[in-house]
Every structure is written in structure tokens, then in C-alpha cells.
Amino acid sequence: MAIGLVAALAGCGQSRLQELERENARLETSLKKATQSLGQAQAQKAGQVEAYRQCLEKYMQATARAADLETRLVELEKQLGVCRQRLGRTEGPLPTQPTTAASTQPSM
């Protein structure tokens, strides 16, 4: 009854009021769907952001590891150069020393 009174005061007929109520209900439903969709999109984005963060972290770790390995390679190359100088060689593989028990016994 109060709705009818408000409608009469606003200059609306009962049919116009019902039409507006239906439109309002439709808009509320659309808003709920849009809100749910937005929530899902935000959750998906958060998941993507976390996956990107983890990927970036792994990349940074791999980059740091590669830099460490490169530094170690340079150190080993320097040591190899020193060994070659001591042996009087500048190129080629270093001679290998047999490590078997037979090679350590004197030959007769």
C-alpha cells in the first residue's frame, strides 16, 4: 500500500511501478553476476601474478647460479693456465696420471 502511495505521489501508475521493479530486479541480478565474474577474474589474476612471481624468482636464481658457474669457470681456467705453465705446455690436454694399483707398482 505504501508503494502505491509513493507511486501515486511520484506520478507513476501501478504498471510503471511494476515495470521499474522488474528492471531493478534484472539490474540487481546483472550486478550480482558481474560481481561474481569480477571476483573470479581477480582470483585468476592473483594466481597469474603468483605464478609470474615464482617464475621470476626461479629465473633470478638460475641467473645467479649461471653467474656463479661463470666465475668458477674463469677461476678454473686460470688454474689450468698455471698448471700448463708449470708443465711447460700452452695447449692441448694435460697428461693424465693412472690411478690403478697396477700403475703404482714398479716394473721389473
Instruction: For the full predicted model, state whether its pTM sits above 0.95.
Output: no
The secondary structure of the chain, three-state, reads CHHHHHHHHHCCCHHHHHHHHHHHHHHHHHHHHHHHHHHHHHHHHHHHHHHHHHHHHHHHHHHHHHHHHHHHHHHHHHHHHHHHHHHCCCCCCCCCCCCCHHHHCCCC
pLDDT along the chain (108 residues), means of 10: 60 80 96 95 94 96 97 96 84 59 48
Contact 84, 76 (CB under 8 A): no
**What length does the chain have?**
108
What does the pLDDT read at residue 14?
Answer: 78
What does the pLDDT read at residue 69?
Answer: 97
What does the pLDDT read at residue 88?
Answer: 83
What does the pLDDT read at residue 92?
Answer: 63
